[in-house]
Amino acid sequence: MKKTELIAAIAEQSGLTKKDAEKALAATIDTIIKAVAEGDKIQLTGFGTFEQRQRNARTGCDPRTGKTIEIPASKVPAFKAGKGFKDIVNK
């Protein structure tokens, strides 16, 4: 499902216009991105949790040269599906 199909499905289920559904989806995504970037955790019961995780520094290999390189520590966004979501997927 692509974004336009998702917007159409949201509009159909909620009774909103496609334009309003697009605004709602954009606002939801923007809010989640900003919150996770600030280090907040967003927990949606039955759906899942969006959070920021710390990835430690590690040694890697440059595929072009084959030389060993140091990959610095970084923060990455993460999503963990909730029990309700997992149960529906596993039916």
CATH number of the domain to which 79 belongs: 4.10.520.10
Please indicate, yes or no, whether residues 33 and 20 belong to a single structural domain of this protein. yes
Decide if 66 contacts 76 (C-beta within 8 A): no
In the chain, the number of structural domains is 2
Please indicate, yes or no, whether residues 8 and 26 belong to a single structural domain of this protein. yes
51-64 confidence digits (pLDDT tens): 999 999 999 998 99
6-29 confidence digits (pLDDT tens): 999 999 999 999 999 999 999 999
68-89 confidence digits (pLDDT tens): 999 999 999 999 999 999 999 9
Phi-psi region of 61 (alpha: psi -120 to 50; beta: other; left: phi over 0): beta
Please indicate, yes or no, whether residues 7 and 20 belong to a single structural domain of this protein. yes
Please indicate, yes or no, whether residues 29 and 70 belong to a single structural domain of this protein. no
Please indicate, yes or no, whether residues 33 and 45 belong to a single structural domain of this protein. no
Please indicate, yes or no, whether residues 54 and 34 belong to a single structural domain of this protein. no
Please indicate, yes or no, whether residues 75 and 89 belong to a single structural domain of this protein. yes
Strand pairing partners for 44? Answer: 48
For residue 67, give its domain range: 41-91
pTM: 0.80
**pLDDT for res 44:** 94
Which of 30, 27, 32 lies closest to 47, judged by CA? 32
